[in-house]
Structure formats: C-alpha cells, structure tokens
Structure 1
Amino acid sequence: MTHASPPAPHTAHDHNLDQGHDHDADADGQTEILDLDAEVLAEHIASITAWLPVKASPRHIVDLGCGTGAGTLALLKRFPEAEVTAVDTSAGHLHRLRDKAGAAGLADRVRTVQADLDGAWPELGRPELVWASASMHHMADPDRTLRQVHDTLAPGGLFAVVELAGFPRFLPEDAPADRPGLEERCHAALDRHHAEHMPHRGADWGPKLTAAGFTVEGERVITVNLGPPHTEAVGRYALSSLTRLRGGLTQELTTEDLAALDRLLDTESPHSILRRDDLTVRTERTVWAARR
C-alpha cells in the first residue's frame, strides 16, 4: 500500500491496517473485530483446540500474540486444569482479555504479559503447549521466534501455529450488482500490501518448524463457510472488517469502487451491509502441530 505503514506486530489478526484514523478509535475498531472474530468463529477455534495431539493435558499454556483472547479462552475451556500466559504488544487487548476471562469466571487461570516478541524474550516459564494464532507472520525474524519457542517449551511439549489464508470474504461474488468483483479487487490490493510488509504471510510453516528443531506431527486446514442465513454478529463482523479495509485502501481503489464500498458501509442507507440477507463468512485457517 503506498500510504500505509506495516501493520503492528503480534496482534493476532490481519485486520490491523494503518488507516490514518485516531489511534484510540483505530484500536477500538480492531478490538471489536477480534471480539467478533472470536464470536463468529468460536466453533472453528474449538475444533482446532480439540484436534491438537497433546500427550497429556497441559498445565501451563502460552498464547503468543493473544489479541483479545479468542485462543486463550478456547484453550482454557479445552484444558480445564491449565493456566494460560497470554502475551501481546497491546495493553488494550490484554485489558479486554482480562475482562472477558473475568466474565467467564476464568480470571484466576490467566496471566497477561505485555511484550514485543521481536525484542527481549519475556520470562514465560516451561509451558507444555504454546499457541500462536495469526501472529507468526508478523514477526520480523520468525525463524528466531521459532527457535525461541523451541527453547522455551518443556521437553515433549507441543507448538500449535495457526495461520489465516487471508481476509474473510463476506459478499456474494456478483455483489454489489453495480460493481461486480468489488470484494476481490479489495483482496488483491490487500495482498499487494501484505506482500510488501509481511513477506511471511501465507508461508508453509512445516519446513520452518522442522528447521527450528521441531517434529511436525500434524497439519490441518479448517475451511469456514457460514451462512446465509447469518447471525447479527456476522453483519457486524462484515461491517467492521470492511470499514477497516476501506480505510486502508483509499489510494488503491477506483473512485467507483470506493463509492460502492461507502454505500455498503453507510448504516443509514437501504444498501447497508447490515440490511443484506446474503452475507457469508468464507475463509480458511491452517494449523501445524509440532513437537519439541
């Protein structure tokens, strides 16, 4: 993207575009997307935690790039005897995670650590399971991070790397009717941005894990295709996601495409995305399970 700085690292989601908005408002928008992602895709996240080839129920788990806690909370439910150390650069995300853990009655099983994982590695103990969802591709030197995780894990411990195939799709391929292919053009512009600023996005983490000393024990692709009909949360997820996408692509799209997006994002308009009954959530996530 010609005008945007690289997304901030370790925030557990690809939607962290620099849009030139007020920083606090932008952070609030990202928090909303992370929360909606957790709500809409809760079943898929749970299926990943259920698939993990753990040898015994872990007592200590580390969530690297935890965001607002989708993985942390899913892991706490999957492993009821475990405690989770949640690591992120964002104090706001960690605060939101603590609120959610408290509301779920899980606050005593969560420790939060604010840290930039490209800098000095924080003290994380000897976890039996490390989870990194949509965070590894943000690392400046992911090979260094993989080696650090290997050295941090308890012997025989498991490292789960979850990566997104890309920004979720929400609109039918022929919508809106007057701008067919709009969403795909947005994705193409976003992919150009990622190729420049996040070269490790979309990487095959299997060989990288092996090079860092891990034994890859499993790889699985989770395909998401929800609706229609869709829930109210899907509408809000699409609105929030495409709002951030639109702000980050101002210099990349044509005037006509921007106008079409604006019609979709105008919540007072009869063309608002919140009024559509044909929305879906389409994406893929790949998970690698690697043993130390």
Structure 2
Amino acid sequence: MSQTHTHAPHHDASHGHHHEQDTSGQAEILDLDAEVLAEHTASITAWLPLKTSPRQIVDLGCGTGAGTFALLDRFPDAHVTAVDASTEHLQRLRTKACARGAEERVRTVQADLDEAAWPDLGSPDLIWASASMHHMAHPERALRTVHDTLAPGGLFAVVELAGHPRFLPEDAPEDRPGLEERVHAAADRRQAEHMPHRGADWGPMLTAAGFIVEDERTIAVNIEGDRSKAIGRYALGVLQRIHSVIADRLSPEDLTALARLLDTNGPHSILRRDDLTVRTERTVWAARRRT
C-alpha cells in the first residue's frame, strides 16, 4: 500500500503502508488537504454516534495528522495513537503535536497495515481510518484486525472520498474545455487496476467482519476558492501528482493544456485562476464492535 489520502494525491496513496517514495510532495498535499477540508473533518468527528467520549483513539493511516488533530480537538481528554508507514509523515505529525503543546497526548507508531501482524495498539474506544482503507491489499483481514483491536462496544469510523476533488469549471481551460474530467477519467481507470476497493461500499464488508454498522453518511464538499489561498496550491499539488502517473494516457493536446495549468510561472497557471472550487464527496461508515 502507498499513501494519500492521491488520495497520486492524498486520496490515492495511503498513509497506512507507504514505502517512502516522494513523501515530501505527498506530505504537502496532506497538509493542504487537512487545511482545506478542516471544517468538514470537524463536522464528521462531531457526528460520530459515540455513547461516551473516547479516551483512547487510534488513527490508522494518519498521514501528517489531519484526523489526529481533529480528534484531539473534538475530544480534549483523549490520547491518540497515530499509525502510518511513512517516517516522514510521522515526524511531521510529531512536530505539529509539539507546536500545539499536545505531544503528551499523541503516540506515533510506524507500521505497514498490509502486514498480517499489527503492532500492539492497545484497546481503543475509537478507531479512525480516513482515505486509507481502500489502499489495503487485504481489507477483509484488516477489518477483522480492527474489530479485534477495538474495546467491546468501541466504534470504527471509515471515511472515504468519492475520488480526487475537482477544482476547475466545466468549461475550463478555455482552449481545452472539460480537461479536468478527462484527466480524472484517466486517473480513475488507472486506479481501478491497482486499487479495486476505491469507491467501495464498506458496509457489507464491515458487517462480514463482525461489526454492527450503526450509521452511514455522505457529505457533499463544495468550497469556494476565494475562501482560502490554500485551494490554489491544493489544486496544483493534486493535478501535479495525477499528471505524474497518467501522462501516458492523455492526448497530446490535453497534455499541453495540463502543462500550461501546472506551469506556476506561466500566464495560464492554475494559481492565477480566481474561479476554483473544491468539489467532492466524503462517505462515513460508523461501525460498532459488539459488547
């Protein structure tokens, strides 16, 4: 498995089992992802059907800490064990924890979640997995391990994006309208070959692993670009990473148009556009281990 969430970008390369390749660019996208989607992530943590406030939480495939810090903010008495395969991501997370004065509330664990044996993660009340489960090579086995790790009655929250976020208007760029959809279609075809569980319905798999699926929610994300300067950099990073893996699947005309968008010094740079939005969907499954 290899992280980000890409999800290619954050949503396509998983933090759970990353093999230390190009982690710096990936980490920057994860940080931007956390910044841009912070309000939505907070709304998910507030929605979770918890019976009591959790004291011990595990963040599986934590990346650079988007979920970890949202959970620490939501549950001020909780401690979080942040699990990732990338040493760089975990170091960034520890640095952030120290800057926030939260280092005593965070434990980092380096682990490849595709391994059959996981490290000791305690007996948490809540396990959170955002944009990481679809990277698992053996998701059924991973779900059973999560089930057995949770305390009786504990909750497992699976958060997945519908796909790469979209940023451009449908009629953009002017010389190649619809470019972004064609780029995403090529990326989706490639990912279907390598990540068959991307876009999966996790409900039946959770039930098969012994969980009771208590609730499911899909959240539409539509953020106007003028609300955050980070959106331009986020769009640039996501499209750069997609370009790096699907360039051979695009027409010469689309490659040229994409190159113009990604040229940060050029007049057509995506950073110069004032019409960007962030559009995607996030689906959350809340599943409980039987008491």
> TM-score range with shorter-chain normalisation?
over 0.9
Segments of structure 1 that go 5 or more residues without pairing to the other structure are: 1-7
For the residues of structure 2 that align with 1:53 and 1:267, how far apart are their CA atoms? 44
> Partner residue of 1:288?
285
> Partner residue of 2:79?
83
Residues 10 and 136, structure 1, Cα contact 8 Å, conserved in 2: no
Residues 11 and 90, structure 1, Cα contact 8 Å, conserved in 2: no
> Partner residue of 1:156?
153
Q: Aligned with 2:265: secondary structure? A: coil
For the residues of structure 2 that align with 1:26 and 1:173, how far apart are their CA atoms? 31
1:40 has 2:36 as partner: yes
Counterpart code for 1:145: A
> Partner residue of 2:273?
276
**Superposed, which structure 2 residues align to 1:9-158 within 5 Å?**
9=2, 11-12=4-5, 14=7, 15=9, 26-119=22-115, 120-158=117-155
Q: Normalization by structure 2: what TM-score?
A: 0.93
Residue 26 of structure 1 deviates from its aligned partner by 2.4
1:234 has 2:231 as partner: yes
Counterpart code for 2:182: R
For the residues of structure 1 that align with 2:6 and 2:184, how far apart are their CA atoms? 15
Residues 114 and 136, structure 2, Cα contact 8 Å, conserved in 1: yes
Deviations 1:186-240 (A, max 9, x none): 1111111111000011110011111111001110111110114242100110111
Of the structure 1 ranges 98-107 and 77-86, higher mean CA displacement relative to structure 2 is found in: 98-107
The ranges of structure 1 where at least 4 consecutive aligned residues each deviate by more than 2 angstroms after the TM superposition are 8-13, 23-26
For the residues of structure 2 that align with 1:254 and 1:148, how far apart are their CA atoms? 44
Segments of structure 2 that go 5 or more residues without pairing to the other structure are: 14-18
> Partner residue of 1:197?
194
Percent of aligned pairs sharing the same letter: 72
Counterpart code for 2:247: T
**Superposed, which structure 2 residues align to 1:202-281 within 5 Å?**
202-281=199-278
> Partner residue of 2:178?
181
For the residues of structure 2 that align with 1:173 and 1:276, how far apart are their CA atoms? 14
Query: CA 1:162–1:13 in 2, change beyond 3 Å: closer, same or farther?
Result: farther
For the residues of structure 1 that align with 2:127 and 2:220, how far apart are their CA atoms? 23
Counterpart code for 1:63: D
